[in-house]
Amino acid sequence: MKKSSLYKGCLEPILLRLLKDNGRMYGYQMTQMVKEITKGELSITEGALYPLLHKLEEQGIVEAETEMNGNRMRKYYSLTKAGKKQTSLAMEEMKAFMQSLEFIVNPKTAIG
Amino acid sequence: MKKSSLYKGCLEPILLRLLKDNGRMYGYQMTQMVKEITKGELSITEGALYPLLHKLEEQGIVEAETEMNGNRMRKYYSLTKAGKKQTSLAMEEMKAFMQSLEFIVNPKTAIG
DNA sequence: TTTTATGCATAATTTTCTTATGTATAAGGA
DNA sequence: TCCTTATACATAAGAAAATTATGCATAAAA
């Protein structure tokens, strides 16, 4: 992540969203996609990413499959059924969160 | 803050924004205003608020004046000159952050 | 051949909260 | 009158969630 890190607390919903949109991804791919989507604004650090993926797997939110790509390992993650449900909830929360931020930071243009 | 706390890392810019918009505020007032603006979505806890205000004061971002309101104390905070500069930067970061979140969570409608 | 990119992982530390607790005044309801 | 809620500050202990640093390994590029 970035040094100033407003992103603190948003990483989990971000990953869930990525998996929801792309179906099946491996960790490194997530970091690259986020970097691309946000035009370099957000860099997910590995120290944050991998422990979180492991936690989500433990919780049954995602499931993992290891594949070999040439000589290199890739660990693909995808949402479980419970994970999809959880993602819906997380997206609702994100929506409310972003709306609240708008209210505070952009009180004039924010539409409630 | 809320339990789910996506807000982690956003409290400081939120307070700066409040002070920028309202000029001079005391802590309790900030908690009430945020609650009102966000329709109850965001509740700033005192354990997060007061230590942060003290830190900002130490850093010369805000300055404090204690006043008595009847028999009750209020500690009013306002941005210093350095604080206003810092707030501008923080708002730029917030804008970029919120845009990035849009890109991720709402890729179709997000305008880049 | 050294750096950069790909790809995973974990440990130590720091940041930033939550939760709990404490003090004190004032207002409102039962 | 008494208890709860609201107002208003403060701090300490603990948890959560990052950062930073490190490690391993393969492959491509400079």
Which positions in chain B have a beta carbon within 8 angstroms of at least one beta carbon in chain A?
4-10, 13-14, 17-18, 21, 34, 37-39, 41-42, 91, 93-105, 107, 112
Query: Maximum Cα–Cα distance for chain A, whole Å?
Result: 55
pLDDT at B35 over 90: yes
> Residue range A99-107: average pLDDT?
93
Q: Which residues of B touch A14 (CB under 8 A)?
A: 104-105
Query: Residue A47, CB, less than 7 Å from strand D?
Result: yes
Q: Protein footprint on strand D: which nucleotides are under 7 Å from a CB?
A: 7-13, 17-23, 26-27
Structure tokens at A4: 């100033």
Predicted TM-score of the model (pTM): 0.93
Structure tokens at B28: 């309790």
Phi/psi of residue A26, nearest 5 degrees: -105, 160
d(CA B110, CA B112): 6
- Residues contacting A96, CB < 8 A, separation 6+: B41
Report the pLDDT value the prediction gives residue A2, as an integer from 0 to 100. Answer: 58
- Residues contacting B32, CB < 8 A, separation 6+: none
d(CA B38, CA A111): 12
At residue A26 the predicted structure's pLDDT band, cuts being 50, 70 and 90, is very high
At residue B10 the predicted structure's pLDDT band, cuts being 50, 70 and 90, is very high
Report the pLDDT value the prediction gives residue A4, as an integer from 0 to 100. Answer: 59
How many angstroms away from the CA of B74 is the closest CA of chain A? 23
d(CA A32, CA A34): 5
Q: Do A6 and B93 touch (CB under 8 A)?
A: yes
Q: Which residues of A touch B93 (CB under 8 A)?
A: 4, 6
Report the pLDDT value the prediction gives residue A112, as an integer from 0 to 100. Answer: 64
- Residues contacting B3, CB < 8 A, separation 6+: none
d(CA B2, CA B22): 24
Report the pLDDT value the prediction gives residue B2, as an integer from 0 to 100. Answer: 62
Q: Which of A31, A9, A4 is nearest to B95 (CA)?
A: A4
